[in-house]
Each structure stands twice: as C-alpha cells, then as structure tokens.
Amino acid sequence: METKKLQLENTYITLPEKLYSKVNPTKIIQPELVVWNEGFASQLGLSEEHWKAEDKVKIFSGNAIPSGATPIAQAYAGHQFGHFTMLGDGRAHLLGELIDPNGSRFDIQLKGSGITPYSRRGDGRATLKSMLREYLISEAMHGLKIPTSRSLAVVKSSEKIWREKQETMAVLTRVASSHLRVGTFEYAKRFAGLEVLEELTKYTLNRHFPNLPDNKFIGHTLLEAVMDKQLELVVNWWRVGFIHGVMNTDNTGIAGETFDYGPCAFMNAYHPETVYSSIDHGGRYAFENQPGIIQWNLSVLAGALLPLIDNEQEKAIEKAQRLLQSFPQLFEIKWRKMMCYKIGITYKDEKDQALIKELLTWMQEKGADFTNTFAYLTYGEAYDAPLFHQEDFQNWKQKLEKRKQQEHNALELANKMKQSNPCFIPRNHLVEQALEQMENGNNRFWNTWIKALQDPYNIKNFNSEIVQPPENGDYGYQTFCGT
C-alpha cells in the first residue's frame, strides 16, 4: 500500500491521556486536492514521486489514516480576549510526527477534519477560503524568514458548510514544530494536576529546548526559553508590519512560531493602532499592543508553571515577576537594533532611537506605506513616490545620511537593510483577489504570486502589481475569524 510512505511517530501519546483524545478524522465526500506545496514536501522527504495521486488525496483529506498513525485531538485551554475558557482541538487532528531528512521533528496536523470531543457546538469543519488564506499567509511568513507553522496541502470537498452563507469545505495540512501552546499548560495546571504538568514540562523541554542546562526548577527554565522565542517573534512581526489579530493564549506557541492564522493581516499605511479583526473592538490585539500582549500571555504561562518555578509559592511568584518585568527592556533593545538595521545603521545611543521615532511619527502623520517607505530607503527609485519628496521627509533623510557617515561598514549595513526590509508583503487586496479567484477555480495569479512571496527579499521579483498598496489605502479593511 502506497499510504505506507507517510511514516509517522507519535511521542505525544506517551504523555498522560488527560492531555488528548484518540479520535479519527471524519471522512469528506469527493476530496479534491486544491494546492500541494511541492517545495516544502520535498524538504520533508514527501516529494511528488512518493505519492500516487489518490493516496495523497486520501491521506490529506483525512479519508485514510497512514499505517501506524494514531490520530489525536489535543486538549488545551486558553485566555480568549482575556477570559479563561476550556478549548482543545475542536476541528483538528494530529496525525503524528514526521522526522524530516535532517532529523527534525514536525507535527502533521489536519485542520477542518471533523468533530472531536472538544468541538463544543462547532461543526469541526473549515471553509476553503480560510484554509487557503492560512496556507498563503503562512507561506509568505516563511518567505519573510519568520518562524511559522507551514502548510503542505489543501483538499476541498463537494460538501458545503454554513457560515454567513454556504461555503465550500476544506481540510488544511498544517506542519509545525509542535502544537504545544501556552493554553496546553493552562489546561494541565487547571485540569490535570501537578504530576501531569511536570511531565508535560519535561516533554516540552526535551522536544524544543534539549540543550538548556539542567535546573532544579524546570518551570523557570521553560518560561525563560519561551520568553526568548516570543521576544524574537514579536520583533519580527514588527519588522514586517504583521498583525496577528487573535493573540489568545491558545494561539501563542511554545516553540515561538507564528501560528493559527485567523484574522491576521499585514499593515499597509503605518499606524500603530491598526486593527483589522472585526471582533477586536477594543483593539486589544492592535499592532502596537502585540509586545505587551505577549508579555501578558507569558504571565499566564508563568501562572500555570508556578509550582515548577520554585517550591515556595512566594519565591516562585517573585522569580516569575522578575523575569517578566525584564520583558519591556529586552524588547526595546531588540526592537531598536532591528529598526536601526531597517534604516541602515547600528544602534549607538538614544539619538538613534530619536531618529527612528521621528521617522515613525512622520509615517503615521502622512499615512506612509510601511513596507514601501523602508524599501524606498533600501532600493530608492523603484519605490519612489511623491510623499518621499516632501521637505520634512527629505530633512529627515539628510539627518540619516549624516548619521551614516559615522558608520564604517557600509556594505554590511546595506546587506542588513536588504535582509530586514522585504520588497513586498502579501497585500490585503491581493490576498482577497487571490482567494476569490481560487474559489472560482482560477489559480494563475495564486501560483505566480506564491512563488514571489517565497522570495520577498529579492528585488528581481519587483513587479508593480504586487508592490503597490491599493490606491485608496485599505482603511476599513476587515478580517474575520471566518472559520
């Protein structure tokens, strides 16, 4: 049987059963492969030649279980918009773990694959549009060299599901370092007991941070390691103008990958308060709030890990607080280093910070395009726009040029700029255009655009269609969980 080709392990089921439920995906009618990520598949050792077309469709629709696999739905809880809730994989199945040719371990998860014990009132399904959206944006994120879950395949069904209107149903294959999240620890602490929490923590350290020095208090070790990863991630989001949109603790990954692409979007015109999600009325997850929210989510993780941070609760609280209080300063140090690279200098002192703030204030006042302003500074002419000829911007640029005279490694800094400033991002209006066409069976734009998005720091991919923001800006653009 060809289906043997997908060889999976499942270390997660060695953990206590409270942490998951064994459950198979529900079959879908008339599965049809819509997209297949051949480049990624070959990295995973799953390239085209391994598959008979019908086997591929069967496995990645959930209609056949790879031999030896034990599908599970993971249990987790989470703070959604600040409120604690019991959740769990309500429409996802972890088929198992794949070891790629480099020896790295990846979760292979189906999303939209039917109900599980955690579905609550949901139908266990996902729309074709939302799964294609996750595929597109996660692949763009990977192209931007930002840690992320990835997408291997989307398979649609002839079945329809009801959302606001009738929609086509589809299953996404999501690949991630793991699906462990802050909410997994909240669940373990609240519902599974200290022993399970301890086992889960050991498992997590072993899986994601095997090289950390031994410490009697593994909770502290894990908290610190996750904080490091999340700091890096949120600085990267800042660098490219990404707004996750639903940074609930169940969507904050322990491995530090961007994951759970719901109402996320990239900002066009720079404004720190930008929010796209239709359900984020208070702007809790607005662009500028993201570091603060990560810190808040880490404090929830600290709360869950408390008994493993120290034997004495007071000491544990004190240790966790000390760590979490260092977050804003650590963020600022990383942020200003990254921003300095974006304008082609290395951070020296507060004057550099003031220079950056001055630029951001100008961008905000003028509604300057986030991506193209930095691309203009990096590549010049190709990104020229009337805005950049205004006196205030020219004056600022002269200050920057003067500052650059103090630098001695111009070539290296020019390279840093090119690595920090993408030539394009997945613009919201193009995301909509591509998805609409794909829903109508037209993959021409999708195919060429995805290729470019996989290589966004390459100016050779410049093409004004994918570079230019929409003429009227995207004020009023809204994203929906639109699951």
33, 63 contact by CB (below 8 A): no
The separation between the first and the last C-alpha atoms of the chain, rounded to the nearest angstrom, is: 34
Applying CB under 6 A, does 483 fall inside the site for ligand AMP? yes
What the block records as the tokens of 294 is 């990560």
**Distance (Å, whole) CA 268 – CA 473:** 7
453, 431 contact by CB (below 8 A): no
CB of 27 to ligand AMP, least distance (A): 16
288, 273 contact by CB (below 8 A): yes
For tokens 């929490």, name the residue: 197
172, 151 contact by CB (below 8 A): yes
Q: Considering CB under 6 A, how many residues would be counted as binding ligand AMP?
A: 17
CB closer to ligand AMP, 74 vs 221: 74
Applying CB under 6 A, does 122 fall inside the site for ligand AMP? yes
Could you give the maximum distance between any two Cα atoms of the chain, in Å?
69
CB closer to ligand AMP, 31 vs 114: 114
Q: Name the residue with the smallest CB distance to Mg ion.
A: 260
Among 9, 54, 97, 123, binds ligand AMP (CB under 6 A): 123
CB closer to Mg ion, 133 vs 416: 133
From 55, 107, 250, 474, the catalytic residue = 250
CB closer to ligand AMP, 260 vs 310: 260
Could you give the string, one character per residue 248-267, with x where binding to Mg ion holds by CB under 5 A and - elsewhere?
---x--------x-------
Identify what 257 binds: ligand AMP, Mg ion, none; CB under 5 to 8 Å per kind.
none
Identify what 352 binds: ligand AMP, Mg ion, none; CB under 5 to 8 Å per kind.
none
**Distance (Å, whole) CA 295 – CA 462:** 37
CB of 272 to ligand AMP, least distance (A): 25
CB of 257 to Mg ion, least distance (A): 13
Helix, strand, coil percentages for the chain (3-state, nearest 5): 50, 15, 35
What the block records as the tokens of 403 is 């500052």
**Distance (Å, whole) CA 232 – CA 291:** 10
250 catalytically annotated: yes
**Distance (Å, whole) CA 430 – CA 284:** 26
Among 134, 260, 280, 352, binds ligand AMP (CB under 6 A): 260
Applying CB under 6 A, does 280 fall inside the site for ligand AMP? no
- Tell me the residue type at 329: Q
Could you give the string, one character per residue 163-192, with x where binding to ligand AMP holds by CB under 6 A and - elsewhere?
------------------------------
Identify what 481 binds: ligand AMP, Mg ion, none; CB under 5 to 8 Å per kind.
ligand AMP
CB of 78 to ligand AMP, least distance (A): 8
CB of 128 to ligand AMP, least distance (A): 13
What the block records as the tokens of 135 is 């595929």
Q: What 8-state DSSP symbol labels residue 49?
A: G
Applying CB under 6 A, does 249 fall inside the site for ligand AMP? no
Applying CB under 6 A, does 82 fall inside the site for ligand AMP? no
Identify what 123 binds: ligand AMP, Mg ion, none; CB under 5 to 8 Å per kind.
ligand AMP
Burial of 435 from C-beta contacts in 10 A (0-12 / 13-18 / 19+): middle
Q: How many CB atoms lie within 10 A of CB 409?
A: 10
Could you give the string, one character per residue 453-482, with x where binding to ligand AMP holds by CB under 6 A and - elsewhere?
----------------------------x-
Rg (CA), the chain: 23
Which window, 122-130, 205-213, 342-350, 404-412, contacts ligand AMP (CB under 6 A)? 122-130
Strands (E), 380-461: none
Degrees, nearest 5: CA angle 435-169-27:
145
Among 19, 44, 87, 200, binds ligand AMP (CB under 6 A): 87
The dihedral built from the CA positions of residue 158, 159, 163 and 165, taken in this order, carries a sign that is positive
CB closer to ligand AMP, 293 vs 343: 293
Q: Considering CB under 5 A, how many residues would be counted as binding Mg ion?
A: 2
**Distance (Å, whole) CA 403 – CA 435:** 44
Applying CB under 5 A, does 186 fall inside the site for Mg ion? no
CB of 126 to Mg ion, least distance (A): 12
Instruction: Give the Å distances, CA to CA, from 276 to 269, 273, 292, 364, 428.
Output: 12, 10, 18, 17, 10
Catalytic residue positions? 250
Residues in the site for ligand AMP, rule: CB under 6 A? 87-91, 118-119, 122-125, 250-251, 260, 262, 481, 483
Residues in the site for Mg ion, rule: CB under 5 A? 251, 260
